[in-house]
Chains A and B, each alone.
Chain A
C-alpha cells in the first residue's frame, strides 16, 4: 500500500476539529454570546478578536508580499510560491470573516459598513479593507480555478489582463489594512498596557506583517512539501529567509526606537508578569529568529528554516494575542480565560481553512509540477476488500471520504457531549452554591457568590422575617432565576434592621431572675405575645407625631429600629417630596418662605439633605439654625481610619458636641 499516511492522519484530525467547531458554532449562533463565551461587560473582546481576526489577518500577509515580488519587482523566480500564498491569504481572509461572523453580536448586519459610513472609525476602514481585499484575492486566485474548467475559459483572458492593477490594489489595501488594525488600539490608551500602547502601533503592525508574510511563505512551503511529498524550492526559500532576516531587524529596530522614544525601556525591566510576556514575544518573534538566521548552517538546513519560520509566526500571533487579550485583561483587575467553546470554534475555523487548502492543492494546479518524491496518487488503485468480512469497501476515494466523515461526526458528537448546559438552553443566570450539612439547620452557603462560605441560619431568618411571608424576601426578590438573593442585598449595614432591645441590660437592672415578671406574664411561656410592650414603661420613647412607625406588632414592635432602606423609601423620600410640595404651595399662596425659627430658606434648603436627613427632624422638636449646617450623624460604630472621608472626620467632633 502506498497510502500517504501523514496526510491522511492530518486530514482526519482536522476533520474531527472542524466537526467540534461546527457544533460549537451552531450553538453560539442559536443561543448567543453569553451562553457560549467567557466574555463579560469588562472584557468584551476575547480569543476570537485576538486569534481569529488579528492573527488571521497577520498570517495572510504572505499573499501581498509574494504577489508584489513576482509582479511588481519582476522577481520571476518566486513564481512557484505565488499561487499557494495567494490561496493561503484568501483562505486566511475567509477565516477572518468566519471569525467575525461568530464574534459579532449581530452577524446578520455584517454588511452594515457598506451602507453606513463613518470615516472617523478605524474599524470602518478595516471592514472595507477586509471586504475589498477578499474580493481582490478571489479574483487573483480565480484563474487557477477557471483554467480547470475549459468551458468557462473565456473568463481567463480578462482575468489575466487585470492582474497587475489587481496586484497593486491588493498591496494598497493590505498595507492600509494591516496598519489600521494597529490604529484600532490607539483609541484605547486606558485599556492597553503601557508596554504595548503606543501611537506607533500602525507602523509596528505593518512592519510585523511584512516579516510574518515572509515567514509564512517558508513555513507553508515546508509543510506542504512534507505532506504532499514534493521536492522543495530550496534556493528560493534561502533567499526568502535572507529577506525575512532584514525584515525582522527592521521590526526590532522600530520596537526599540518606540520604547526609547516614549521612555518605556524601564517598564521592560519591571519584572512583572506582563513585562515577561513582552520579553517572550520579542525573543520569539524577532531576536531568536534573527540570531538563528545569521548562521549559514541554519539557513541551509530544512529544519533550521522551519524552526525560524515557526518561531516568527508563533511570536507574531503571540504579539496579536498579547495586544488584544493579555495587555487588555489584567489592567481591568479581572480575569478572562476563553471558554471551551471559544477555543473549539477558533480551532474549528483554522482546521476548516487548512482542509479547504488541501482540497485546492489536490484538485487544482496550485503548485508547479515539480518532481514528486514518490507516487501519492493512490486514489486510482484497485478497490479494497475487508479480508475478514469480504465486504467491498468501495473505491479508495469513497472509502477515504467515508473515513473523513466518520472523524467529522466523531468530532461533532464529542463536542455535543461536552457542551455546557448553557450552550443547549441559552444563557442562565448564576446559581447560589448551597449545601446543607447533614441533619443540621445551619447551612453553609456562598451567600454573596464570592467564594466565601458562611454559616447561614435558615430557621432564624424565617422566624425573624415573618414566617410564611419570609420566603419571597430572599427567594423571589427581583431576581426570579436566582435560587436565593445574595446576603449583601440585605446585609449592607445601611439595610440592616438594628436590634435596639438589650435583654441582658434589662435583666441586670431588674436583679436577674427576680425581675422576670416585671415584663413577662407569670407562669406562662416567655414569648413575645406574653410580654409587655416597651412603651408601657418607657412612656416617652415615641414622641407625639413621630414619623417613625413600629416595625411589627406586640412586644416585638420596638425591638428593632427601622432599617435604612425602609426608612429611606418610607420616610426620607416622602419627607423631601412633602417639603418640596409645601415650598411650592407657600410660594403660590404668597406665604413667607421661612423656617420655624423665622429664618429665610431658599428652595435648596427646604429640600436639602442636611436639613431633612437629620435624626431630630423626625424624632423630636428642634429649632433649626441656619449655621452651622447640622451634619449627618454617623451610626455608632468603630470609625476606621480611611473609611470616612476627611471632610466628615474633621467635623465629626463638632457634630457630636452639638447634639445634647
Chain B
C-alpha cells in the first residue's frame, strides 16, 4: 500500500507542487468564484499550501483514508479505493449527489459548480502515474523532499525515525497514523495539524462503520416488516372468515329453530 509523508518542517511554501499538479491534471487557472473556500483548495487546485505564521507551510490535499467515508457515501461507486491506496473517481457513473463532499471528514472533494456537466474534483494520488511506475507529480518536484512517497509501513518507520532522531524538532505524533482509521497521507510536524480536519478532534473511529452497522441489518428489517404485514393480513382475513362462518352457523341455527317451531 503506497503512501505519502509530508515533513512540515522541511516545506518552503514554494508551491511547485501546486504548479506541477495543475500541469499534470490539466486543471487550468484559478478564478475568483463565489463558492470557493478559504483554505485555497478548489476544483482547479487539488493540492494547496496553507501559509501559517512563523514560516510554516502545510500542504492540504486528499488524505486517501484507509477506510474512506466518501467511498462509503457514494451510491454508485464512482469513488473507489484502489489496492495502491489511492481514492480515485470515475466521472462516467457519477450522478452528482455531492454526498461525498459532505461525508469527507477533511472536506476535500470540490465541485466545479460553474459547469453544466459538473464533476467531483480531488487529488487521486496521480493514479495514472502510479500505474506507469512513476511517483506523484508533487513528490517529484519538491525541492527539499518535504513530501516523499513509498510504502506506508516504510514511511511510518521513517517518520518514527525522524521524530526519534530530533525529538525537540517534531511534535511526538504522526498525523494520519490513526486519524479516522488511518490515512495514506502522513504528516510529521512541529505545529499542531488538527486544523486539517473538519473538526478539531476527528477521533480514530472509521466513519463508514457508523452507517454500515445500521445498513447491514436492513435486509432483516425489510423481511421482518414484510412478514409482520403478511401475518397481520392473514390474521385479519381469518377473523373475517371466522366471523362469516359464525354468522352462517347462527343463521343456520336460527333457521333450524324456526323450522323446528
Per the bound structure, the CA–CA distance linking A41 and B113 in Å amounts to: 9
Partner pick for B75 among A107, A121, A608, CB 8 A cutoff: A121
> Across the interface, do B214 and A199 meet the contact criterion of CB distance under 8 Å?
yes
Interface membership of B53, Cβ < 8 A: yes
Chain B stretch 14-36: residues in CB contact (< 8 A) with chain A: 14, 16, 29-36
> Across the interface, do B33 and A34 meet the contact criterion of CB distance under 8 Å?
yes
Q: Report chain A residues within 8 Å CB of B218.
A: 125, 176, 180
Per the bound structure, the CA–CA distance linking A494 and B52 in Å amounts to: 11
> Across the interface, do A172 and B225 meet the contact criterion of CB distance under 8 Å?
yes
By the criterion of a CB under 8 Å from any partner CB, how many residues of chain A are at the interface? 97
A186 touching B214 in the complex, CB below 8 Å, given contacts A45-B102, A573-B16, A613-B12: yes
Per the bound structure, the CA–CA distance linking A609 and B99 in Å amounts to: 40
> Across the interface, do A607 and B76 meet the contact criterion of CB distance under 8 Å?
no
Interface membership of A146, Cβ < 8 A: no
Per the bound structure, the CA–CA distance linking A334 and B55 in Å amounts to: 27
Binary contact track B191-235/A, C-beta < 8 Å → 1, others 0: 100000111001000011011101100100110011001101100
| Chain B interface extent, by class | 35 or more
Closest to B203 in A: A189
Q: Report chain B residues within 8 Å CB of A34.
A: 33, 35, 112-115, 118
A184 touching B111 in the complex, CB below 8 Å, given contacts A118-B77, A121-B75: no
> Across the interface, do B31 and A190 meet the contact criterion of CB distance under 8 Å?
no
Partner pick for A569 among B14, B30, B214, CB 8 A cutoff: B14
> Across the interface, do A191 and B198 meet the contact criterion of CB distance under 8 Å?
yes
> Across the interface, do B97 and A190 meet the contact criterion of CB distance under 8 Å?
no
> Across the interface, do B98 and A187 meet the contact criterion of CB distance under 8 Å?
no
Most buried by A among B77, B190, B197, B232: B77
Q: Report chain A residues within 8 Å CB of B113.
A: 32-34, 37, 39-41, 427
Per the bound structure, the CA–CA distance linking A119 and B56 in Å amounts to: 43
Binary contact track B65-100/A, C-beta < 8 Å → 1, others 0: 000010011111110000000000000011111110
Q: Report chain A residues within 8 Å CB of B208.
A: 120, 187
Interface membership of A365, Cβ < 8 A: no
Partner pick for A644 among B41, B54, B93, B99, CB 8 A cutoff: B54
Closest to A110 in B: B95
Interface membership of B236, Cβ < 8 A: yes
Closest to B199 in A: A190
Partner pick for B32 among A35, A426, A479, A569, CB 8 A cutoff: A479
How many contacts between A and B, using CB within 8 angstroms?
260
> Across the interface, do A175 and B225 meet the contact criterion of CB distance under 8 Å?
yes
Interface membership of B250, Cβ < 8 A: no
Most buried by A among B35, B69, B73, B118: B35
Chain B stretch 107-121: residues in CB contact (< 8 A) with chain A: 107, 110-119
> Across the interface, do B98 and A123 meet the contact criterion of CB distance under 8 Å?
no
Closest to A649 in B: B54
Per the bound structure, the CA–CA distance linking A287 and B252 in Å amounts to: 54
Partner pick for B30 among A119, A124, A479, CB 8 A cutoff: A479
Q: Report chain A residues within 8 Å CB of B63.
A: none
Binary contact track A149-184/B, C-beta < 8 Å → 1, others 0: 000000000000000100111011001100110011
> Across the interface, do A608 and B144 meet the contact criterion of CB distance under 8 Å?
yes
> Across the interface, do B102 and A33 meet the contact criterion of CB distance under 8 Å?
no
Interface membership of A188, Cβ < 8 A: yes
Q: Report chain B residues within 8 Å CB of A645.
A: 53-54, 56, 190-191
> Across the interface, do B76 and A113 meet the contact criterion of CB distance under 8 Å?
yes
Question: Could you tell me the distance in whole angstroms from the C-beta of B126 to the nearest C-beta in chain A?
Answer: 21
Per the bound structure, the CA–CA distance linking A187 and B213 in Å amounts to: 11
Q: Report chain B residues within 8 Å CB of A164.
A: 233
> Across the interface, do B233 and A71 meet the contact criterion of CB distance under 8 Å?
yes
Binary contact track A409-452/B, C-beta < 8 Å → 1, others 0: 00000000000000000110110000000000000000001000
- Of A297-305, A354-362, A480-488, the one touching chain B: A480-488
Q: Report chain B residues within 8 Å CB of A119.
A: 215
A106 touching B145 in the complex, CB below 8 Å, given contacts A113-B75, A116-B76, A175-B221: no
Most buried by B among A39, A168, A180, A486: A168
Closest to A644 in B: B54
Q: Report chain B residues within 8 Å CB of A30.
A: 116
Per the bound structure, the CA–CA distance linking A603 and B112 in Å amounts to: 41
Partner pick for A124 among B76, B191, B240, CB 8 A cutoff: B76
Q: Report chain B residues within 8 Å CB of A449.
A: 32
Per the bound structure, the CA–CA distance linking A650 and B112 in Å amounts to: 44
Question: Could you tell me the distance in whole angstroms from the C-beta of B26 to the nearest C-beta in chain A?
Answer: 16
Q: Report chain B residues within 8 Å CB of A121.
A: 72-75, 99
Chain A stretch 33-50: residues in CB contact (< 8 A) with chain B: 33-35, 37, 39-42, 44-45
Per the bound structure, the CA–CA distance linking A478 and B32 in Å amounts to: 10
Interface membership of A261, Cβ < 8 A: no
Per the bound structure, the CA–CA distance linking A29 and B95 in Å amounts to: 14
> Across the interface, do A429 and B32 meet the contact criterion of CB distance under 8 Å?
yes
Given A72-B236, A168-B229, 18 more A-B residue pairs with CB atoms under 8 Å apart are A31-B116, A32-B114, A34-B33, A34-B114, A41-B107, A109-B93, A109-B94, A116-B78, A125-B218, A183-B214, A184-B211, A187-B103, A190-B202, A478-B29, A478-B30, A573-B16, A609-B9, A634-B54
What are 11 sample pairs from A and B whose C-beta atoms fall under 8 A apart? A32-B114, A113-B75, A120-B215, A175-B221, A179-B221, A184-B211, A188-B103, A328-B102, A480-B31, A609-B9, A609-B10
Q: What 3 pairs across the A-B complex have the smallest Cβ distances?
A: A105-B96, A34-B113, A40-B35
Residues of B that sit less than 8 Å from A by CB: 9-14, 16, 29-37, 41-42, 51, 53-56, 69, 72-78, 93-99, 101-103, 105, 107, 110-119, 143-146, 169, 190-191, 197-199, 202, 207-208, 210-212, 214-215, 218, 221-222, 225-226, 229-230, 232-233, 236-237, 239-240
